[in-house]
Structures are given as structure tokens and as C-alpha cells.
Homo-oligomer: A and B are copies of this chain.
Amino acid sequence: MRFLHTADWHLGRLFHARSLIEDQAYILDQFVELVRTERPDAVLIAGDVYDRAVPPPEAVALLDDVLARIILDVGVPVVLIAGNHDSAQRLEFGARLMQSQGLHVAGCTSATPACVSLHDAHGEVRLYALPYAEPAVVRDALGAELPTHEAALCAQLDAIRASHPAGVRSVVVGHAFVVGGAVSESERPLSVGGSGAVAAQAFQGFDLVALGHLHRPQTLDGRVHYAGSLLKYSLSECGHDKSVSMIELGADGSVQITPMPLRPLRDLRIVEGALAELIAAAADDARRDDYVYARLTDTGALLDPMAKLRQAYPNALAVERTVLARGGVAGDAARRLREQSTGELFASFFREVADAELDDGQRGALEQVLAGMAAAQRESA
């Protein structure tokens, strides 16, 4: 059986205040064409399909259009789960009505996760759709105390194992941070305080685990796979080879993964050099329309370098002066501050003001407040 696995579309995302909707529509056109030529048995979209709980209307219209084309025009079913950026309830609108058409949406967490049964010449395959959920949400659904992301995920997987028939191949579609995975800057942490990470061993017994969350395509343990994000959504992803993944599930449950690269409308690149050199080089640059982040090595004063750069690279995103970013104590301090989490920043603020370290009780209270704020922000985002 063959699956086309993708994740982290982040439709509606703004990057340096620019809407990426045109880039997303462009690459999704290619994705639909790939589905048409490859005709997999199902498309798996493993969460963060939108960038925020309330996406802009054009993102809603784009997802609507892409799903209708894949399902109605091409005739391939889709399994779609909510990620930590999506609103579980909003994403699930119409789920019951669209199911018989071949769109299986799992937004909200329930005691019995959605299961899609498919068949090939070698028999049945069961796909379990596990939307992202905070441990507290899983606790409410399952009625058990589950303090961590790992405990919550394990409880859900145990429930699936208990009813999964022996000898039937199994696939989990999920959204999680697996220990050992390589992170990028555009992933929103799942947990404040803890990492929210789960061990790959949690998925033991399942033939294929098709995940979303981490933006770099990567495979752990041979069958726990991140398809990666649709586009480069942060500077830390400039070196990524983005792709969607064709996954062949053999008769014996073996897994073979082939990356299928798509071609973005505009790439994301970092260019480095003196402003005049960069502008001169742009003349021969066939990809001047790329999103360009410029690290300027000039040491003297520069008058409005952004405006000048934009004449050469119309989609330039921002400029950084390496002499300022790297030079001296102030630059280092600013860099260190940027790398700290809100919790760490608060702890150093507390140290400064109270001349004492946070004790365990205070730290716990702080983490609760931050987690509450993060949850509220997710819903109102």
C-alpha cells in the first residue's frame, strides 16, 4: 500500500510580515498533480495544516480547494489531523458529512481515536488518526491522570493496541515531538518548561508512524517519519531539502520511504557580503525573486540598505549588519537573550529583582501560568 505523506502546511503563515499564500497555492498545485500521477492509496496530512487557530479566509479557501481536487477530482482519500497550530473544533467542521466522500478529519481527541480501514492485495491496513492534544485534553477524554505529553500519547496508543487485531498492518498519523528529532526555529514548542518530547519507543508495534511537527524531513527508527513542512518557514530551514514523502508499506509491514521534492515559487536564502557586491551579483541571479535575507558585511554607515537591496532582490525580507550582530559584548548579550525561553527570561528577571533563585513551588506556578497563556494564545491566535 502506498501513502503520500505531508505535514506542516501552515496555510496563512506570515513571514517577515509577508503573506505566503501565493507560494503555498503554487506548491500545492504541484502536490495535487503529484497525487494525480502517483495515485497513492491515501494522502496523509499530519497536522499544522493552518498556521493558527483562526486562519485568514484565503487560507480556508485554499485548503477547501486543494482537498476537493484531491478527493473529488483525483479520487484519492485523505486523512487529516489537527496539529498544535490548528483549532481542533474549527478543523473538525463537517467531518461527519465529508467522511463518506473520503475526507477523514480528526480534530478533537476522543477515547476511541478515528480509524480508517483500507485494503490492498495483501489484506487490511488500519490507519489511526491521532490529532495533537495537550495532556489535559487527553486526560479529560480518557479519564486518567496523564501529566506529560509522553504519558498522554502512550495512553492513547495503548488504547489502540488493545483493540487492534493481530496480523493487520497498522499506521499511526500523529503530531508529536519525538526525542532525537532535529528541530527548526519555526516550530512552536509543545510544552513550556518541559520539552513535550516523546520517545520513539512509544510507537512500538506500529508498522508506520507518519508524523508532523518537526519541519525537517527525517526518519527515526526506520519507520517513525516526519515528512517535514511544505515550505521553508524560518531562516534555520534554508539548508533543508523540503519534500513530501511517498511511503510504500509492504505485505509484511516493511516500510520504504522516498522523498518527492516539490519546486517552490520562491526559495528562501541567506546572502552575505557587502551591499554593493550583493546588488551587483543580483544582475546575473536567475532567482532574484527568491526570499532573500541579507547579511551585510559593510563596516561603514549605510543609508536605507533595505530599499537598495529591494531594487535588486524585490522579495528581500530583511537585512542584518554582521558588524553589529557579531561585534562585542552588546551583540553577544542580545543574542543570548534571544535564545532564552520566556521561563528563563523570567527567572533571570526574578534573580535581578529578588536577589534569589525561584524555588520549586514558584517555578511550578510560573510554568502553569505560562502554559495557560500559551494555550489561550493558541486559541485566540
Contacts and interface: CB of A to CB of B under 8 A. Distances in A.
Contact of A90 (B60, B68, B101): B60
Contacts of A92: 61, 64
A370 interface: no
A369 to B, nearest CB: 22
Interface string A124-148: 0000000000000000000000000
Contacts of A101: 97-98, 100-101
B379 A64 contact: no
Contact of A96 (B58, B72, B88): B72
Contacts of A60: 89-90, 93
Contact of A97 (B57, B61, B71, B87): B71
B94 A94 contact: yes
Nearest to A58: B89
B64 A95 contact: yes
A98 B54 CA distance: 22
A88 B64 CA distance: 13
Nearest to A101: B97
B379 A93 contact: no
B89 A68 contact: no
A101 to B, nearest CB: 5
Q: Which of A67, A72, A101: most chain B CB closer than 10 A?
A: A101
| Interface of A, helix, strand, loop or mixed by DSSP | helix
Contacts of A100: 101
Given A100-B101, A101-B100, A101-B101, A57 B90 contact: yes
Nearest to A73: B96
Give the number of copies in the complex: 2
Nearest to A95: B64
A379 B57 contact: yes
A94 B96 contact: no
A71 B67 CA distance: 21
Interface string A61-92: 10110011001100000000000000111101
Contacts of A63: 93
Contacts of A87: 57
A268 interface: no
Nearest to A63: B93
A97 B58 CA distance: 18
A14 to B, nearest CB: 15
Contacts of A88: 57
Interface in A1-50: none
Contacts of A96: 64, 68, 72
A247 interface: no
Pairs A-B, 5 closest by C-beta atoms = A57-B89, A94-B94, A68-B96, A97-B98, A64-B93
Given A67-B97, A68-B97, A94-B98, 15 more contacts: A57-B88, A57-B90, A60-B89, A61-B92, A64-B93, A64-B94, A64-B96, A68-B96, A71-B97, A93-B94, A94-B94, A97-B97, A97-B103, A98-B98, A100-B101
7 contacts: A54-B54, A58-B89, A61-B89, A64-B96, A94-B94, A94-B97, A94-B98
